[in-house]
Structure 1
C-alpha cells in the first residue's frame, strides 16, 4: 500500500489505480483524501518509505480473514515538494509507529484501516 501511495504522490493523483489494489474503504478514502489535499496545494511528494511490517494478530486462528499488522514506517527519505520542484518545507520525515487492519474480501487481502502515529514513536 505504501509503495502505491508513494507512486500516487509523484503527481498527487488521488485516482491512482494501484491504491485500490492494496486498500479499500475507509483506508482507501483516507489515502485519496490526503492526496487530494496535496494536489489542491500544488504539492507532490517524492522518496521511499522504509517499512518492515509484521503480523501481530490473525483471526480467526484456524483460517484468518483479518490480520493486524504493526510496522515502524520510516519517512526520513520521503519529502513534500512544490510543483516547481522546490522543497515545500525543511521538516524532515522520521520513524513512525503504524498499524493496519487487513481483511480478506473475496479471496483478496486489502488494508481496511490504518493508523500512523507521530514522528519518533518507534
Structure 2
C-alpha cells in the first residue's frame, strides 16, 4: 500500500526543479527570502539597454543557481540546504522544500543529470519589483528519482523533454531570485 501511495506522489516529484509540490507544510515555519512588494509601476519609466541586459544576465545567473541548488538539495535530501535561499524566493522556495521533504520521507532522492537551455522572454524593469520571465527546455530524461536504500528508479518517475517557465524577481536587497516556476510537461520541446 505504501509503495502505491509513493508511486502516486512520485508523479509530483518528477520535476522538482521546475515546479515543486503544492505549498503547505507542518512544523516550524520555513526560512524564506524577503518577499518582494506587490508589482506596481515605477516612477522611472526610462530603462537603458545596458540596464535591461544586466537584468537578463542576473536573472539567468539566478536561474542557473536555482537549478544547481535544487539539484544539490535533492541529491542530499536536504530541504534546508543553504543555497536554496540564495537563489529561490517564495512561493517557489516553500514548494521546492516541501517536495524534497516528501521525497526524503518516502525514502527517495534525485540523482543524475538535468539539461537546461533557458532564454529570457521578457524584462520588466518599469515595475516594482522588477521581473524577468524565463523559458526553458528542460531535459529530465537523465534526472531520476531513486530509492535511497538501493538506488533503483522509483516507478512512474520517468523524465522527459518539456517546456518550463520561471519568474526572476529583484528583491529589496538587490538580488535576483526565482520565485515562481512551472513545468509544462504536456508541451515537449
TM-score, structure 1 as length reference: 0.90
Corresponding residue pairs, total: 122
What runs of 5+ residues in structure 1 fail to find an aligned partner? Answer: none
More strand by percentage: 1
The residue that corresponds to 1:111 in the other structure is: 178
Q: 1:20 aligns with which of 51, 60, 85?
A: 85
Give the ranges of 4+ consecutive aligned residues of structure 1 lying more than 6 Å apart after TM superposition: none
What runs of 5+ residues in structure 2 fail to find an aligned partner? Answer: 1-65
TM-score, structure 2 as length reference: 0.60
User: CA 1:119–1:38 in 2, change beyond 3 Å: closer, same or farther?
Assistant: farther
State the Cα deviation string for residues 65-86 of structure 1 (Å, max 9, x = none): 2100000111011001111122
Partners of 1:10 and 1:45 within 8 A in 2:
yes
Q: 1:49 aligns with which of 114, 137, 141?
A: 114
Q: Distance in 2 between matches of 1:119 and 1:6?
A: 23
More relative contact order, 1 or 2 (CA 8 Å, 6+ apart)? 2
Larger Cα-atom Rg: 2
SS for the counterpart of 1:51 is coil
Deviation at 1:2, TM superposition (A): 1.3
Q: Distance in 2 between matches of 1:25 and 1:43?
A: 24
The alignment yields a C-alpha RMSD, in angstroms, of 2.0
